[in-house]
Amino acid sequence: MTARGRFISIEGGEGVGKSTQIAALAAFIEQKGFEVVLTREPGGTEGAETIRQLVLGGSAERWLPRAEALLFASARSDHVERLIEPALASGKWVISDRFIDSSRAYQGAGSGLSDADIMALHHIGSRGMLPDRTLVLRLDSKEAANRAAARDQNQPDRIQGRVETFHADVDIAFVSFAESEQRVRLVDASGAPHEVTMRLLAEISDLLEPA
Ligand code: TYD
């Protein structure tokens, strides 16, 4: 029987260097002999990518918080059932750029839905599935904004364009998840990329040991 793969989600505000770090993590895990599937949310499957366009595109007023939360949960459901679960079952590791904690932080803490409601949607959509480890990359908000602006050429999507207090609430939420849940780890994203990678690897080393 193939051992089940591990599921890692990477979280963090805009401009913290998630993409670079995800690639570095994947390369390291592959070197250890595992197959790695890289994916992202919202998205990862055809249906979920279609929902991504709906939820991230258009005007800021396009969706109210509850409808937005349902759309993210719906995209996640397709992603979990069609991509993440089958990959894990076949022994592959999955690294997702964002997962449920983004909904808890952005639609919950940021937009005012309760954590219980977000998790209720997650139970319906994805049987409450949680990552084995969640790594939250954190950077001083000014440095993050500068990096994100450079990357997006100042064209934020529906959610990136929200006011600073929204993003501060999101950050506070990630910190509180790390305080109350063992699987969630905060990682300092400042400094040279390889230094950040070393910090991330330290937080997943236990997962790489044989069970
Ligand atoms: P993306 O372009 O992937 O940017 P990044 O992850 O680099 O910030 O944008 C995804 C956006 O969607 C981001 O602003 C966070 C938001 N989001 C939610 O609000 N809720 C969610 O459940 C997820 C997965 C993402």
For 45-79, write each residue's pLDDT tens digit. Answer: 999 999 999 999 999 999 999 999 999 999 999 99
Q: What pLDDT is attached to residue 141?
A: 67
d(CA 131, CA 174): 15
Residue nearest to atom 4 of ligand 1 (CA): 14
Q: Which residues pair with 137 in a beta bridge?
A: 187
Is the full-model pTM beyond 0.85? yes
Average per-residue pLDDT in the chain?
94
The 10 Å Cβ neighbour count of residue 148 is 17
Q: What pLDDT is attached to residue 99?
A: 98
Domain extents in the chain: 7-208
Q: What is the mean pLDDT of residues 124-149?
A: 87
- The DSSP code for 92 is -
Q: What percent of the chain has pLDDT over 90?
A: 81
Superfamily assignment of 7-208 in CATH?
Answer: P-loop containing nucleotide triphosphate hydrolases (3.40.50.300)
Query: Measured from the CB, is residue 42 less than 6 Å from ligand 1?
Result: yes
Q: Which residues pair with 93 in a beta bridge?
A: 36
Of 107-111, 134-138, 139-143, least confident by mean pLDDT is 139-143
Report which of residues 6 and 149 the model is more confident about.
Answer: 6
| Pocket perturbation via mutation, ligand 1, pick of 40, 106, 136, 170 by most ligand atoms within 8 A of CB | 106
